[in-house]
Structure 1
Amino acid sequence: MRNLVIIEAPSNLGLKSLQPGTEPGVRLFPEALRKTGFADNTGITQTIQVPAPPYSMDIHAESKIRNAEAIAHYSRTLASHVQEAVEQGIIPVVIGGDCSIVLGNALGLKNTGGRYGLFSIDGHTDYMLPEHSGTAGAAGMDLALVTGNGPAILSDIDNQGPYISEEFVFAYGNRELDDDYVAPIIDSNVHYYDLPAIRKQGIGRITTDFLRMVAQNNLDGFWIHMDVDVLDNEIMPCVDSPQEDGLTYQELKQTLQPLLASPSFKGINITILDPTLDPHGTYITAFSAQLSALLKQ
């Protein structure tokens, strides 16, 4: 049986506040998930808490990214925990927070000295640079930063960028299909599958192609990034950028099952679920049950 550890990473530094004076509620996700009995239901006995710096709306003058210095510092701290777990053969289940936590996770992998792939499951591309961002939030730039694009303060922490090479990344699930928005990722070396492409080509074919890519390139493993806004808005409306359509839980299961079963799977992070938008806990309880069932297998 695989040895899993929960790492709680409640950083909301990568988001712009949706309401003046109210910080993004994704920082409450680890606590809310804990209350559902997720760890017990998954059979995980160890939890590591990585407290996040205080929220701020400050924009770093040089990079034009909100909270860039604090995110870089937090990424180093998170990376040390991910690196330690992976080197010990333990699989981290990192509960965010916003999408900027993938920087720390990817940095931790890079610090092991290996080469890794990334399967990014997200309702957006998150492949954006500061000059194209309307929020200055790193949570909308994380995939670009992870692959070495954008300001060095986040894309090249400790001279380790890119943390994961573009050709080893699958971006899966975007449904914001504006031509200008998707142009940067289409022009990159990232393997890009928007929601229509997934349904046309088939989930099984895409996950098989990813695992084949990992094997053919002799990678040391891969990480899964999952932003819950990839899910259909009917089953996951408590996100900062809701959109119509999205993956069903059955489609998510079909996606994750072969990836989680692979011996090359090294860890996963879950981001963007905002419990303040789910006051009765209806959606997070359902999500917790789905995720724990998948991780137990």
Structure 2
Amino acid sequence: MNINIIGVPLFYGCDKQGPQYAPDKLRENNLIDILQKHNHKVFDLGNIHVPSADSDSKFLYHRNMKYVNSIVTVNTNLAHLVNISINNNDFPLIIGGDHSLSIGSIAGVSKAFKNIAVIWLDAHADINTHETSPSGNVHGMPLGASMGIGHEDLTNLYYKETKVRPENVFILGARDIDSGEIDLIKEKNINVYSPEKMRKIGIENLVDFILDKLKESDVDAIHLSFDMDFIDSSYVPGTGTPVNNGFNVDETKLLLRKLAQTGMIKSMDFVELNTLLDENDKTLNLAIEILDSVFECIK
């Protein structure tokens, strides 16, 4: 398979320095060689340009969305590059950076397919809006925006349509959900599975169930979005918003490999690795280990 690496050195969505260094850190730690050893042809498309922004003006464009103008610019460019990648029958691997980049990656994927699904592996639901967000951090809004929920600057990014239908969204591993998000989950009947619920069902059984539902909905592609805080906080010091009671490394690999083996994953985000918070490269090395495991199964 042809894999296009697209780096997005963005931290504006989380408003915390560190994740912008992850794309280059992963490259420096042999990401390309690791992907190539699984018989993939790898094209490194470099990093999306992130315009500089003054922290004193983070609320300049909106009173409850930090750096939103810069985030929209980055994501619009990302969406177009992802769309070109898919239209060329390549697999875009988007490495962040914070999770706000998914607004662009999902927009680019959705424009290339008729009916996509998004599987969101994250300790958080990331379906806040400018009205519900307690922090104003846009990395808590990308999945909501992709479902057409939130501010029009985000929901209309790249093109003015809903990018993914709520019934085709599966949030796995969520265990730190804001009150406004809980209301939205109930209102839209969004599929959300906590680690406890996932273990009760069984990881492999859950993937089979999700696939059956997506086949019923005639989904033609799955976008996989992986946040490092999906993993239990004891394993990942190098992420900005770690949460306990998550999955261990073996469980995480099992889930990702099971998803990869479906053949329906056509694009992937890998986000929220914060190398400034890491301890002796523990999280960085784990990130490489996980990507190695996933792309052994991607065909």
Same-fold call, TM cutoff 0.5:
yes
For residue 30 of structure 2, what is the amino acid of its counterpart?
G
For residue 36 of structure 1, what is the amino acid of its counterpart?
N
Farther off after superposition, 55-64 or 152-161: 55-64
Select the residue among 50, 53, 65 that pairs with 2:51: 53
User: Secondary structure at 1:257's aligned position in 2?
Assistant: helix
Aligned-pair distance for 1:154?
0.5
User: Secondary structure at 1:293's aligned position in 2?
Assistant: helix
Farther off after superposition, 155-164 or 74-83: 155-164
Cα distance change on mapping 1:13 and 1:185 into 2, 3 Å: same
Q: Does 1:13 align with 2:12?
A: yes
Contact kept, 8 Å, 2:227 with 2:272, in 1: the verdict is: yes
Aligned-pair distance for 1:15?
1.6
Aligned-pair distance for 1:176?
1.5
Q: Deviations over 1:133-161 (max 9, x none)?
A: 22211101111111100110001124433
For residue 207 of structure 2, what is the amino acid of its counterpart?
T
The 2-side partners of 1:199 and 1:250 are apart by 13
Cα distance change on mapping 1:234 and 1:143 into 2, 3 Å: same
The 1-side partners of 2:252 and 2:54 are apart by 33
Question: Aligned residue for 2:214?
Answer: 214
Cα distance change on mapping 1:6 and 1:189 into 2, 3 Å: same
For residue 25 of structure 2, what is the amino acid of its counterpart?
A
Q: Which runs of 4+ in 1 moved over 6 A?
A: none
Aligned-pair distance for 1:268?
0.5
Question: Aligned residue for 1:21?
Answer: none
Aligned-pair distance for 1:200?
1.5
Contact kept, 8 Å, 2:233 with 2:243, in 1: the verdict is: yes
Cα distance change on mapping 1:160 and 1:277 into 2, 3 Å: same
Q: Tell me, which stretches of 5 or more residues in structure 2 are unaligned?
A: none
Q: Deviations over 1:240-293 (max 9, x none)?
A: 112222111111122111211222211110111100112532321132023212
Question: Aligned residue for 2:182?
Answer: 182
Question: Aligned residue for 2:200?
Answer: 200
For residue 43 of structure 2, what is the amino acid of its counterpart?
Q
User: Secondary structure at 1:289's aligned position in 2?
Assistant: helix
- RMSD value over aligned CA atoms? 1.9
For residue 33 of structure 2, what is the amino acid of its counterpart?
D
Aligned-pair distance for 1:113?
4.8
User: Secondary structure at 1:69's aligned position in 2?
Assistant: helix
Q: How does 1:99-110 map to 2 (within 5 A)?
A: 99-110=99-110
Q: How does 1:155-174 map to 2 (within 5 A)?
A: 155-174=155-174
Question: Aligned residue for 1:245?
Answer: 245
For residue 280 of structure 1, what is the amino acid of its counterpart?
N
Question: Aligned residue for 1:39?
Answer: 32
Cα distance change on mapping 1:105 and 1:249 into 2, 3 Å: same
Contact kept, 8 Å, 1:236 with 1:283, in 2: the verdict is: yes
User: Secondary structure at 1:131's aligned position in 2?
Assistant: coil
The 1-side partners of 2:85 and 2:97 are apart by 19
The 2-side partners of 1:217 and 1:35 are apart by 41
Question: Aligned residue for 1:78?
Answer: 78
Aligned-pair distance for 1:67?
1.7
If the length of structure 2 is used for normalisation, what is the TM-score?
0.91
Q: Percent identity?
A: 22
Question: Aligned residue for 2:145?
Answer: 145
**Count of aligned pairs:** 290
